[in-house]
Amino acid sequence: MIAKKNELPNDKLKKMNSEGIYESAKTLTFIAPTKTERIPQEEYDQLVEPYREAMTRLEVRMNGLNEDYRKKYRDYPIHNIQARIKSRKSIEKKLASKNLPVTAFTAKDNLTDIAGIRVICYFVEDIFSILSLVKTQTDLLILKESDYIHYPKESGYKSYHMVLGIPVYRIEGMQYYPVEIQFRTLAMDLWASMEHRICYKGETPDETADAFRNYSGELSEMERRMKHLLDEIRRNNPQEPMQ
């Protein structure tokens, strides 16, 4: 593999990393591959199989929690759930970007987002209601949390991220597989989808970036007003919880 040496200047390292933590300002040296290596299709299929099972288990669990919530409170906090398995190409590119060997073994040891689900709720309060229920599930491991609702990214992005360890059973025994879960409101998902469509993978003019930061606040305010309307309706039309 042909590679070249690159250095990142200090000012590029003062930005927040993907975990919401500021990197130390120092010069890093990395190897930038000119061509991404490939994972054989059979190895990719074997790699993602248990992740797919873990993802399905978590999706079923989330739907079950939503249904239990509806029966007890005559309400349902989850609007919809989206699930995805990272494509072979995406795994290869991510490993290459981290300067790691492009193999299924390396992917399993280093990536926590091979499987992911996105839980779209109506309001912020719904997100934290579901979060509190998820945290009572004693068979799930909380591997990581990132709160971008109370601490939005500089771009205006808001969401709540978790990586959960989901038990998967095989002949060899039980093993936990990570599944990334993103909680968003409908307004947050609209913003993220449009920002991805308009700004993703390219240099974004300052005025466009500023506009999206403003839109994030405007959508949050609209969401708060709608929640206020819902609360008013509920106060005027009280209902007994369903037992």
Stretch among 13-17, 106-110, 144-148 having the lowest mean pLDDT: 13-17
Own/partner long-range contacts of 218-224 (Cβ < 8 Å, ≥24 apart): 219/187, 219/188, 219/190, 219/191, 220/158, 220/187, 222/187, 223/123, 223/124, 223/185, 223/186, 223/187
- pLDDT for residue 28 is more than 90: no
At residue 202, what is the residue type?
A: G
- Boundaries of every domain in the chain: 41-187
Query: What pLDDT is attached to residue 198?
Result: 87
In this predicted model, what pLDDT tens digit does every residue of 44-71 receive, in sequence order? 999 999 999 999 999 999 999 999 999 9
Query: What pLDDT is attached to residue 239?
Result: 66
Q: What stretch of H or E contains 194?
A: helix 186-199
- pLDDT for residue 179 is more than 80: yes
What is the spatial distance between Cα 237 and Cα 235, in angstroms, rounded to a whole number? 6
Stretch among 1-15, 166-180, 207-221 having the lowest mean pLDDT: 1-15
Token pair listed for 3: 């590679």
The mean pLDDT value of the chain amounts to 86
What is the spatial distance between Cα 74 and Cα 199, in angstroms, rounded to a whole number? 39
**Fold (CATH) for 41-187:** Beta Polymerase; domain 2 (3.30.460)
- pLDDT for residue 33 is more than 50: no
In this predicted model, what pLDDT tens digit does every residue of 80-105 receive, in sequence order? 999 999 999 999 999 999 999 999 99
